[in-house]
Structure 1
Amino acid sequence: MSPRALALTPQEETPVPHGSLSLPARLLLRGFDTEKGRVSGAPDIELAVRAAALVELAGRRIISDVDGVVTPVFDARTGDPVLDELMELAEESRPRTWRAWIGYRARATLDTVRRQLASEGYLSAERKRVFGLFPVTHYGLERAGYVEVLRAEVLGALEGGEPVGRVDEDDAVLAVLAATGKLRRLIPAKARRTHKGRLDHLTARAGGISPELRQSLGDIRAALAAAVKAAEASRASAGGGGGG
């Protein structure tokens, strides 16, 4: 995954290097409604964020599928707190498939991403107590202009403004994960259906030239789809509605 400079809108006060944020951080930002300043239309955002972290680690070739088991390169670290936390968890945990890793303690990865983004000024963090007892943190969006640029990149990759072979690999990954994870505020259900074939091509594009990486990305995409479907079924059975 190659970092690149990102042109910012006039709302942004200082330039932000595109490559300074991990894939899970950029995916979470794309889930924010820039008008409401909060994540919207993404009930399974933690699953998509975990999938993005797995994709980045696979792209760095420090985790891989070995005979159906996600296997880390022990003691390999990236310097990013989100990715390194997941590497440590993978080293300490029993063997799991991609599907199992999508959901296993996924909320922890989401929480770490939010804290990281707040510490770097992308999000605001407000501590409150529910019923005066239970501490919770509410996160709001601080860099709406930056997020609008990120969203435009994903939509451009999905809607076919240029040939798939010329789409940036990171944009291809994020378009696929946003669609598969059903970030509906970013990619509505109609767009997912309309561009289903292009999503398949973007998955291949995101895998670069390595057959192993293409296979891992395809497996992670399938695992995310299965995890989201299971979460929707669970909500439906509990009377909370499904997804589209």
Structure 2
Amino acid sequence: MPDGSLSLPARLCLLAWDSERPGGGADTARLHHLVRAGALTELARRGLLTDDDGIATPADLDSRTGDAVLDGLLELVRESLPRRWRAWVRSYARVTFDAVREQLVAGGYLRAEKKRVLGVFPSVDHVLARPAAARALRAQVRAVLDGERPAGEVSERDATVAALAAAAELRGLGPVRERSRRERRTEELTERGAAAAPGLGTVLREVRAAVSAETARAVASTGG
């Protein structure tokens, strides 16, 4: 998948920026929870968070990833009361999203543009600075979700990106023509992604379910 140096949450965040919209606006209705799910999954892939009967549990008190976003989330989990994976998808999700977005700005993928709301209040728009990278990533995820390539031939990371993105039903991935086929494919990709680390299947299913629930809530609140 393009831009392989990006972390899992950064890929998911970039994927949601719509290169077809004027200004490349983000598909924001469900983005915070998707990015948080990606960060939790990345930490579990690296063995820094483990599953303890549904509870997201730090493997130790000292390990770091070197990624400020992931290390910030890991520290938050360590300092907080035990929570289930689904709860962590929701809790303070905006914090992780904001940090990932700033990483994408620093990496040249997004650009922060200052503006004034109603001509008075200062604000910032984040727009695509590298639309080709976002388009390529989106095309790759569509191919993984809707193509005929066996899930076992997809890389574990690409399978994980696609499975989580499908749970968020991002508009840029196009309409779901056959929901039953998409559900089967997403489950196959979840199985493939889970092969990256012991116990990852439970984590992926938990965070995927949380993203799906938050997506349904967002769709209901906006009327579609």
Aligned pair 1:82/2:69, yes or no?
yes
Show CA shifts across 1:62-110 (max 9, x none): 0011122111132221111111111111111111111111111111111
Task: Give the structure-1-normalised TM-score.
Answer: 0.83
Aligned pair 1:67/2:83, yes or no?
no
For the 8 Å contact 2:156–2:196, the answer to whether it is kept is: no
Following the alignment from structure 2 to structure 1, what is the Cα–Cα distance between the partners of residues 90 and 8? 17
Quote the sequence identity (%): 46
3-state SS of 1:76 partner = coil
For the 8 Å contact 1:151–1:186, the answer to whether it is kept is: yes
**Equivalent residue in structure 1 for 2:128, among 135, 141, 151:** 141
Following the alignment from structure 2 to structure 1, what is the Cα–Cα distance between the partners of residues 166 and 209? 12
For the 8 Å contact 1:62–1:76, the answer to whether it is kept is: yes
Q: CA, structure 1 residues 103+134, in 2 after alignment: closer, same or farther (shift >3 Å)?
A: farther
The code of the aligned residue for 1:84 comes to D
Greater relative contact order structure (CA < 8 Å, 6+ sep): 2
Which residue number in structure 1 is paired with residue 7 of structure 2?
A: 22
Which residue number in structure 1 is paired with residue 32 of structure 2?
A: 46
The code of the aligned residue for 1:20 comes to S
Q: Where do 1:205-216 residues align within 5 Å?
A: 205-208=192-195, 210=197, 212-216=199-203
Aligned pair 1:168/2:155, yes or no?
yes
Following the alignment from structure 2 to structure 1, what is the Cα–Cα distance between the partners of residues 63 and 89? 20
For the 8 Å contact 1:58–1:64, the answer to whether it is kept is: yes
Following the alignment from structure 1 to structure 2, what is the Cα–Cα distance between the partners of residues 192 and 174? 19
Deviation of residue 39 (structure 1)? 3.5
Q: CA, structure 1 residues 25+209, in 2 after alignment: closer, same or farther (shift >3 Å)?
A: closer
Q: Where do 1:80-119 residues align within 5 Å?
A: 80-119=67-106
Q: CA, structure 1 residues 191+126, in 2 after alignment: closer, same or farther (shift >3 Å)?
A: farther
Q: Which runs of 5+ in 1 are unaligned?
A: 7-17
| Structure (1 or 2) with the greater helix fraction | 2
For the 8 Å contact 2:45–2:196, the answer to whether it is kept is: no
For the 8 Å contact 1:102–1:223, the answer to whether it is kept is: yes
For the 8 Å contact 2:176–2:182, the answer to whether it is kept is: no
The code of the aligned residue for 2:89 comes to I
Which residue number in structure 1 is paired with residue 166 of structure 2?
A: 179
Following the alignment from structure 1 to structure 2, what is the Cα–Cα distance between the partners of residues 209 and 105? 27
**Equivalent residue in structure 2 for 1:123, among 85, 110, 116:** 110
When structure 1 is superposed on structure 2, of 66-75 and 43-52 the one drifting more is 66-75
Task: Give the structure-2-normalised TM-score.
Answer: 0.90
